[in-house]
Structure 1
Amino acid sequence: MEITLDKHAANQASIKIKLNEADYQPKVDAKLKDYAKKAVIRGFRPGKAPFSMVKNMYGTSVLVDEINQILGESLNSYIKEQTFKILGEPLPVELEDNSIDWKTQKEFEFEYKIGFVENISLALDQSIKGKKYSISVDDKLVNETLDNLKSQYGENSNPETSEVGDFIYGDLAAKEGEFTKTVSLDTSKISKKLAGKFTGISKDAIVEFEGKEVKKDEWTAAFGLNEVDFADAKGSFTFTVQNINRTTSAELNQEFFDKIFGPDQVKTEEEFIAKVKETLQGSYDRESKVFTEEELKKVLVEKVAISLPDDFLKEWLLRANEGKVTEADVENEYPIYAKQLTWSLISNQIAKEHGVQAEHEDVIEKTKEMIREQFASSGLGAQLEASMDLFVDNYLKGNEGQNYMNMLTSVQNDKVLSLVQEKIDLVEKTITIDEFKELLEK
């Protein structure tokens, strides 16, 4: 047997395996002799058929099976001996039809394409700069949340006459052209001058106004139009009222407190506001943690600069999912796949170099945290904790065990990112929710 490697690119290569008769024939003969001992062939007692007849009947299929087994074992062993990291699976180079004569051919040559990356090296030290973001929950955000909650749990009505702040449902139409759309107008989000035209009106009223009276952001925020809609929002418009919707804000009382946080969790307005702020802070702490980690991943990916065998991986993805995806699908999804693969390679290397390991107990605890978050607003409380082990067990066994493997990977990533933050030059930065939204939009 002869195995050769031809690196024809920085991250792609071919492996050729040449087999001669001595590599496979002894195994083929042994398998055929075993067949002959058990073969049941018409005209002969079991195991008494001539070996030549058994060979003629089963020789080719046994030969193919044995060669495939030798190829698989040899290829895997050879790959394990290499220093580079194989990506995906080796792809056999397809031979032309009938290019192998299994009955007469004695020597065979097979070729496989592989994609790989060389050894990944990353020194975690102070030369790597990163930021740890913390979102500050200020009074403005708390007050906005309180207003939203009071509106959400307020009393809805359909008054005869409109006031500023009402939602007016009706038909918006341009006087010239064919534009028309049924919308729900939030009168609290338009200018006072324009809102005046929508105040004191009733059902079936027709309001006329000019497009120039509406700011660009008001078309979206107040009228709910998208960019395509308001691109033609010029000239004069009419708004025919179909209905008026009004929400009276809920009062800050015990009934309201119980609806939000459960019975008797808070009993005063001060406690309620403090609980809202605490809940907001917890939510934004989780968001800022995720954002920080994603930004750190970008820093590390840029630092290592792994060059993936893109062409090979696209071909492998297409062939591995034959019939399920198209070339267009692979092209569209590949950037996301490449990003995830790159981070996975870096994370695994850091874990290997620093002895980071996800333990079973870590998986259990992370799964419990996930389940608690999912049921946070359910009010189950003690009932959930009493059945937690069952919830965890059912989840981790789900998807044929893949849920467990995914959680194991998630735990390792958490540990790797915690280690990264300990090792690099990490600057803590407190930002407002508005600044956070700006960062997300970049």
Structure 2
Amino acid sequence: MNITQEKIDNLNAVLKVNIDAADYQARVDKAIKDHAKKAKMPGFRPGMVPPSHIKKMYGKSILVDEVNNLLSDTLNNYITEQKLDILGQPLPKVDDKQEYNWDFADNFEFNYEIGLAPAFDIDFSSKDKLTQYVIKIDDTTLAERIKNIRRSYGKMTNPDVSADDDVLYAQLTQLSPDGSVFDGGISNTTSVRIEQIKDAKIKKSLIGLKKDDEVTLDIQKAFGNDAPKVAAILGIDESEAADVKSNFKLTVKNVNRLEESDLNQEFFDKLFGAGVVTDEAGFKAKITEELESMMNQDSDRKLQNDIYQYSLDKVSFELPDEFLKRWLKATNENLSEEELEGGYKDFAQNLKWTLIENKIITGNNLEIKYDEVFAAAKQSLDAQFRMYSPTPLTEEQLGQYTVQYLQNKENANKVFEEVKALKTIDYIKSVVTLDKKDIFYNDFKELAK
């Protein structure tokens, strides 16, 4: 058996594998004998089928399987021994025109294309500068958050007249162009939150309404042509919502108002525990602290994204694009040319980032330990459980769930890659210069769009 590499360029090569009959004969004979021992055929006792009979009936298919297995082993061993850093997997050359009889005496030659990982250097230093935003909470954001918290602990009332923060429980009835009720049209009883109305004129028309009052409105204009929102309000499919052009009559059935909770000690204790906060100033300080903590998570995510993009722009190298496109097509049979071309840019970017990650991890002897993977998985699961239950799991329960979660290979690989990415980001953060900049939350939201 002989295997050679023919370099096409720095990113592409062809592996030529020559296999003689002597290379595969022993493997084929053993496979035939093993098959004979397990075969159940009429006229023969179990395990007593002659190998010659098996060879006559199934010999060619067994030969094909064993040559393919030998070929796979040979390629993998060669790539490992030669320390070839390949991308994707070897692809059989489609222009090979050799045909074989598969008669147990053939010599075979197989040609495989391979894509080679590019050589590149990484030279991050303190000369590389990125902005790290420190988010500050402005008065408007703080007031909005406090209002929402107070309302979540408040009580529902039914005032006589609607105000801009109220919810109208109302009947929506589709109208004909002449203003009459459209026979067989859409009709739905639903809750309309006035503050969600996008059009200022329509919003104003819903303020000051009493039970049984009627208002005519353009439903699309009211919700800014938001098809999912229109669909939910009218109780129809989203696919239908975009085509609804007619006006609707809104008939008030009830006005609902969520009154804000009083800023008293009972309220403070419910939120933070007994005696932690004792006055309004302490309450505002606590909410500001919690908001800034949450917002700085957003800042961290932006910094991670900025580092990702900065790295891709700074570390420049080419990929064997045409080979990778062929490989993607070969390994995804249902992938259309349009999908391939549309998604290849993102694929190539992710691959480049993976190569940068690997270079940083190996070049700086960074380790990814099981404890780190376990801790990351545990934290993620804890956050998920808290979304559905206010009572957190015990450490023992959370640990058991984490062990079960990581027993799934796909889950374990996913968390491993997440930890690897964070370790890479942390390394870059430790090398480059991070210029800290204070920014109000609303300004940050615009920046992060």
TM-score clears 0.5 = yes
Partner of 1:118: 118
Partner of 2:441: 433
Partner of 1:99: 99
1:247 to 2:258 alignment: yes
Partner of 2:291: 280
Given that residues 128 and 433 in structure 2 are in contact (C-alpha distance below 8 angstroms), is that contact kept between their aligned partners in structure 1?
yes
Partners of 2:195 and 2:391 lie apart in 1 by: 39
1:202 to 2:210 alignment: yes
Given that residues 117 and 306 in structure 1 are in contact (C-alpha distance below 8 angstroms), is that contact kept between their aligned partners in structure 2?
no
AA aligned to 1:252 is L
Q: What TM-score comes out, normalization by structure 1 length?
A: 0.77
AA aligned to 1:205 is D
130 and 188 in structure 1: CA distance in 2 versus 1, 3 angstrom threshold: closer
Cα drift, residue 118 of structure 1: 1.7
CA displacement, residues 361-396 of structure 1 (integer Å, 9 cap, x when unaligned): 222332333344345574435x52353422332332
1:339 to 326, 329, 349: 349
Partners of 1:423 and 1:367 lie apart in 2 by: 27
AA aligned to 2:435 is V
Partner of 2:369: 359
Partners of 2:361 and 2:46 lie apart in 1 by: 62
Q: 5+ residue gaps in structure 2?
A: 232-239
SS in 2 for 1:122: coil
258 and 180 in structure 1: CA distance in 2 versus 1, 3 angstrom threshold: farther
Partners of 1:43 and 1:367 lie apart in 2 by: 56
1:109 to 2:109 alignment: yes
SS in 2 for 1:407: helix
Partner of 1:156: 156
AA aligned to 1:359 is K
SS in 2 for 1:387: helix
1:305 to 2:313 alignment: no
1:295 to 2:289 alignment: no
Partners of 1:8 and 1:95 lie apart in 2 by: 16
Given that residues 202 and 241 in structure 1 are in contact (C-alpha distance below 8 angstroms), is that contact kept between their aligned partners in structure 2?
no
SS in 1 for 2:208: coil
Given that residues 164 and 194 in structure 2 are in contact (C-alpha distance below 8 angstroms), is that contact kept between their aligned partners in structure 1?
no
Partners of 2:263 and 2:405 lie apart in 1 by: 39
CA displacement, residues 403-434 of structure 1 (integer Å, 9 cap, x when unaligned): 22322222222222111111123322222212
Q: Residues 104-253 of structure 1: matches in 2 within 5 Å?
A: 106-168=106-168, 169=170, 171=172, 184=192, 186=194, 197-207=205-215, 219=224, 240-243=250-253, 244-253=255-264
Partners of 2:175 and 2:351 lie apart in 1 by: 51
Given that residues 15 and 111 in structure 1 are in contact (C-alpha distance below 8 angstroms), is that contact kept between their aligned partners in structure 2?
yes
Q: 5+ residue gaps in structure 1?
A: none
Cα drift, residue 297 of structure 1: 0.8
Partners of 2:381 and 2:37 lie apart in 1 by: 59
Partner of 1:23: 23
The total of aligned residue pairs comes to 429
SS in 1 for 2:87: strand
Cα drift, residue 357 of structure 1: 0.9
Partners of 1:348 and 1:433 lie apart in 2 by: 35
1:72 to 2:72 alignment: yes
CA displacement, residues 269-325 of structure 1 (integer Å, 9 cap, x when unaligned): 3343233222212211222112111110111111123433444434434443446x6
Partner of 1:385: 395
CA displacement, residues 234-270 of structure 1 (integer Å, 9 cap, x when unaligned): 9xx7853334332222222344345544666645433
Given that residues 89 and 316 in structure 1 are in contact (C-alpha distance below 8 angstroms), is that contact kept between their aligned partners in structure 2?
yes
Cα drift, residue 353 of structure 1: 0.2
Percent identity, aligned pairs only, is: 30
More deviation, 83-92/342-351: 83-92
Cα drift, residue 86 of structure 1: 1.4
Partners of 1:126 and 1:254 lie apart in 2 by: 50
Partners of 1:241 and 1:37 lie apart in 2 by: 82
Given that residues 132 and 429 in structure 1 are in contact (C-alpha distance below 8 angstroms), is that contact kept between their aligned partners in structure 2?
yes
Cα drift, residue 126 of structure 1: 2.8
Q: What TM-score comes out, normalization by structure 2 length?
A: 0.76
SS in 1 for 2:263: coil
Cα drift, residue 150 of structure 1: 2.0
Cα drift, residue 160 of structure 1: 3.5
Q: Residues 318-337 of structure 1: matches in 2 within 5 Å?
A: 318-322=329-333, 330=340, 333-337=343-347
SS in 2 for 1:112: strand
1:256 to 2:256 alignment: no
SS in 2 for 1:88: strand
Partners of 2:147 and 2:175 lie apart in 1 by: 34
Given that residues 194 and 203 in structure 2 are in contact (C-alpha distance below 8 angstroms), is that contact kept between their aligned partners in structure 1?
no
250 and 333 in structure 1: CA distance in 2 versus 1, 3 angstrom threshold: farther
Given that residues 7 and 14 in structure 1 are in contact (C-alpha distance below 8 angstroms), is that contact kept between their aligned partners in structure 2?
yes
220 and 38 in structure 1: CA distance in 2 versus 1, 3 angstrom threshold: closer
194 and 68 in structure 1: CA distance in 2 versus 1, 3 angstrom threshold: closer
